[in-house]
Amino acid sequence: MSILTKVLIGLVIVAVFPVMYLAASVLNVQNEWHKKVRDLQVALEKQQKEHDLLLYGDFQSQTKELVPGKPVVGVPGLVQWRTARDNMMRGASRVWYGRPQAASISADTGTLKLEVFDDQVNLDMAARAPLTEHGMLDKMVLYVFQVKHSAEPTSGSDKYLGEFVVNGLPPGTNDPIIPLKPALPLTAAQWDALKTSAAAAQWIVFDKMPVDSHEAFTGVPEDEMRKLLPPGAVDEYLNDNQTPTDAITANAELSKHIVTDPVTKKATFVRPLREYQIIFAAARTRMSDMNDRLQILVKEKQYAEQALVNLRDVTIPALDARKARLEKEVALVEAELMVVTEHSAKLAEAIDQTQKQIVQLLLENKRKLEQKEEGGKLTRSSGPAPLAVNAP
C-alpha cells in the first residue's frame, strides 16, 4: 500500500467522526422537532375542545334549556347563554316533556289528559320518573308539539298540535296527570288521530311559543340540518350570515335579505326570522275555517244522499206508478176515440145521404109546384105538405 493511499484512508477515517457527529446532531434536532410538533398538536386539540366547550357547551347542557330560577346543569356554552339571554329578553319559555293518555282522549267531552315526565330525554319512557313539581297552573295556555323528546326527527310524525288549555287542575297539586282541552274545537278526525297516535306519541309542551333566532342551528352539521329542515328552507339556514350563494341570489324572496356593508362593500345574507306564534295562529284559524267548511260540505253531502234516496225510493216509484196509470188512461181514451171515430164516420155518411135525399126532395117539390102553377089552381094533395125551402 502506498503512502498516498494510507494518507487518504487516514483522512477518510478522520472525516467520518465529524460526519457521524453531524448526522447524530441532525437526528437529535429532528426528534426534538417531532416531539414539539406532537406537543403542539395535543395543545391545539385541547384548545379546540376548550373553544368548542366555550362556544357550544357540553352535550348535557345542550339537552337542557337554561331557565331562570333553575340550576344550571352541565357546562353551557356561548350559544346556550345567548339563547338564555334571548329567552329572558322575550320572556322565558318553560318546557315540559310528556305523552297523552289514550284512555282519557274523549271527543264527546272535548278533553284529554297529559302525563308529564322528568327531563331525562335520552332514557326510555318506562325508566323516567313522573314530574310532580311541574309548576303548571289551571287555565294556563300551552303550545303542544308532537316530537320525540330526544329531538330525533321522525318524518311524517313531527307536527304542531295546537294550543291547549289546562282544564280543572286543582291549585298546588303535584299530580303529574294534567287535564287539558283544546283552545279551538277539534274535528272528529283530529280526535281520532290523537287517540290513534297516543300509544307511541311523545309531546313537548311550551308555555310560550318558541322564538326563531339566528343561533337556532349554530354548530349543527349540514347533514343533520338537512334531516331536520324541509328542503325548501335548507338554503336559508345553511347560508345565514354568509356570503350569498347563487341559489340565494337567484331566489327572489331570499335575495331581498342580502345586506351590503357600506364600508367593506361585503354582501351578507341574513335569514329572515319567523314569527311562529303568528304563523301557527293563522294556520290554526285557517284549519278551523276549513273544518267548518268541511262540516258544511259533509252536511250538504248527507242532504244530497238523502235526497237521492228519497228520489230513488219515493219520488221515482210514485212517478212510475203515475206513468202507468196515465198509460192505462191513454189506452182507454185511444179505444174510446177509435169508437167515436168509427161512429163519427157512420154519422157523416148518414148525414151525407140525408142531405142528398133532402136535395132530391126539394127538387121534386119544386118541380111539382111548377107543374101545378102551369095547370091552373094549386090544390093541396092528400100527402104531407112540402117544405117551404128556397131552391138554390
pLDDT digits (tens, 9 = 90+) for 128-169: 999 988 889 999 999 999 999 987 878 778 888 989 999 999
The pLDDT-based confidence of 189 (bands split at 50, 70, 90) is confident
Percent of the chain with pLDDT over 90: 29
Of 285-294, 325-334, 364-373, highest mean pLDDT:
325-334
Strand pairing report for 95-100 and 159-166 = unpaired
Whether 355 has a pLDDT exceeding 60, the answer reads yes
Q: Model pTM?
A: 0.54
Whether 89 has a pLDDT exceeding 70, the answer reads no
Range in 36-50, 51-65, 262-276 with the lowest mean pLDDT: 51-65
Mean pLDDT, rounded, for 25-35: 83
Mean pLDDT, rounded, for 63-88: 66
**Which tops the pLDDT comparison, 176 or 59?**
176
Cell of 225: 340540518
Mean pLDDT, rounded, for 224-250: 86
The pLDDT value recorded for residue 376 is 57
Name the E strands within the chain.
95-100, 112-117, 141-146, 159-166, 177-182, 203-206, 258-260, 267-269
The pLDDT value recorded for residue 59 is 60
Cell of 341: 171515430
Strand pairing report for 267-269 and 159-166 = unpaired
> What separation in angstroms does the CA of 210 have from each of 13, 180, 294?
83, 20, 30
The pLDDT value recorded for residue 187 is 83
The pLDDT value recorded for residue 21 is 77
- How big is the chain, counted in residues? 392
The pLDDT value recorded for residue 110 is 93
Range in 79-93, 335-349, 371-385 with the lowest mean pLDDT: 371-385
The pLDDT-based confidence of 99 (bands split at 50, 70, 90) is very high
**DSSP H helices in 165-310:** 188-197, 222-228, 234-238, 246-250, 252-255, 276-310
The pLDDT value recorded for residue 65 is 57
Mean pLDDT, rounded, for 114-121: 92
The pLDDT value recorded for residue 392 is 37
Mean pLDDT rounded to a whole number for the chain: 83
The pLDDT value recorded for residue 112 is 96
The pLDDT value recorded for residue 71 is 59
Of 209, 217, 126, give the one whose Cα is nearest residue 162: 209
Residues 191 and 258 sit within 8 Å (Cβ to Cβ) = no
